[in-house]
Amino acid sequence: RPWSSSPASPPPMHRRLLLILTQRFSDFEVLLRWKSRMKRRKLLRKNHLFFLKCSILFACLLCVLRFVGHSEWFRADHKGKFNWDFLNHKDTPLEEVDMSYTIINYTGLSNLGTKAQRSLRTLSVRGCSEVDDWFLARLHVFQDSLEELDISHCPQITPGGLAALRNLKGLRRLDVSSLPRISTPGLVIILLEEMLPQCEVIASGYDHSLKPEEVEEERSQG
């Protein structure tokens, strides 16, 4: 091609129009993608709040609650109906919770909320089939407030799990009655009283006789 000093001719109109449309389409696609992402994030946030409220509500329907500064207990009546007035105290920390014979477990414990870590004085999980050693280990978050704990009749608790209760230095009353996986209750009570000297340990429903070989076995498990 011969050399020429004349400027390059502009692209044809249809090519320029196509380029403009391509750029506009790209910008529009980015906008749609951003809008879709924001919509999805908003939906996830709503779902999170919904499931959080459902978890708290489900826990409330299964247990008995009392809030700090209030004498009234919230519980279902004989027909299974619950007093919805507890929603008026959603910003008030819990002081006493009875979740006996419910399906509360390690992960569900967080539904009590962070405020309860500084205010919860009494907790009962009597007869809860999902309460195990992991659950007991998680109770350390209440070490500054918890004074009474009932873990009796829980089939999954072992002597090793009871050792985690040493963190509850403020505990004044502990019920460990009828734990089927405790084979030497006499020794377990002694160990608990050594760990928590200020605490009254209640342990009924056992044969408290200790055999020498069982003592050594229990020490190795602890």
pLDDT in tens, the chain (222 residues): 455 555 556 666 666 666 666 666 666 566 667 777 777 776 666 555 544 555 555 555 567 777 777 777 766 666 656 566 666 666 677 889 898 998 888 887 877 766 666 788 999 999 999 999 999 999 999 998 999 999 999 999 999 999 999 999 999 999 999 999 998 898 999 999 999 999 999 999 887 655 545 555 555 555
CA 129 from centre of chain? 16
**Coil vs helix vs strand at 198:** coil
**60: exposed, middle or buried (C-beta count within 10 Å: 0-12, 13-18, 19+)?**
buried
46: tokens are 């709503």
CA 95 from centre of chain? 17
Residue 39 has a CB neighbour count (10 Å cut-off) of: 10
- Could you tell me if 155 and 129 are in contact, meaning their C-beta atoms sit under 8 angstroms apart? yes
pTM for this entry? 0.64
User: Please, how many CA atoms are within 13 Å of residue 21, restricted to the half-sphere of its CB?
Assistant: 6
